[in-house]
Amino acid sequence: MAEQLKARAAEAGLSLSVYVARELADIAARPTNAEIVKRLKARDRSQGPSSEKILQAVAEGRR
């Protein structure tokens, strides 16, 4: 694994430490699955289509 990281850092023209720091920053910036689920559950869905309409559209798409 260390060799892969070294190779990727070299391809990017970066030192290993700078490359790893950037990768960690990217990972930290991404929401976790739990955070995504929490956001989705908090959304107001009262204005969207009903479950019945969604199922109907899916059925029509399969024909």
Report domain extents, the chain: 2-61
- pLDDT exceeds cutoff 90 at 63: no
- Output the pLDDT for position 45: 83
DSSP for 6-52, written as a single string:
HHHHHHTT--HHHHHHHHHHHHHHSPPHHHHHHHHHHS--TTS--HH
pTM attached to this predicted model? 0.59
Are the C-beta atoms of 9 and 15 separated by less than 8 Å?
Answer: yes
**pLDDT tens-digit profile of 21-61?**
999 999 999 999 999 999 999 998 888 898 899 999 999 98
- Output the pLDDT for position 46: 85
* Rg of the chain, C-alpha, whole Å: 22
